[in-house]
């Protein structure tokens, strides 16, 4: 039981970091969609995971946008 608790406590910072990475990436992607609709349309495309990247693909403009985790 002690090992499981310690393992869980050790993983909390990495889970929070991954969540923050997703939130911040989506904020950037949404900003790009609003500011540059000629490149990033249609708005609201789903964010996908590709290796260490979070990526959105816009088929109407054949454009990608992505961020990489450290």
Q: What pTM value is reported for the model?
A: 0.74
| pLDDT in the model for residue 19 | 72
* Mean pLDDT within 12-30: 77
The structure tokens listed for 41 are: 């349309």
Sign, CA dihedral 16-18-21-27, equals: negative
Decide if pLDDT at 14 tops 60: no
Gap between the Cα atoms of 63 and 43, Å rounded: 12
- Residues 6 or more apart whose Cβ sits within 8 Å of residue 66: 50, 53, 54, 55, 56
Q: What was the pLDDT predicted at 13?
A: 52
Number of domains in the chain: 1
What range defines the domain where residue 43 resides?
2-68
- Judged against a pLDDT cut of 60, whether residue 54 lies above it is answered with yes
């Amino acid at each position: 039981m002690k090992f499981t608790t310690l393992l869980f406590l050790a993983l909390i910072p990495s889970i929070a970091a991954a969540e923050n990475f997703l939130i911040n990436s989506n904020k950037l992607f949404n900003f790009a969609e609003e500011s540059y609709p000629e490149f990033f349309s249609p708005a609201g495309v789903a964010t996908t995971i590709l290796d260490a990247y979070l990526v959105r693909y816009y088929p109407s403009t054949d454009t990608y946008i992505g961020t990489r985790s450290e």
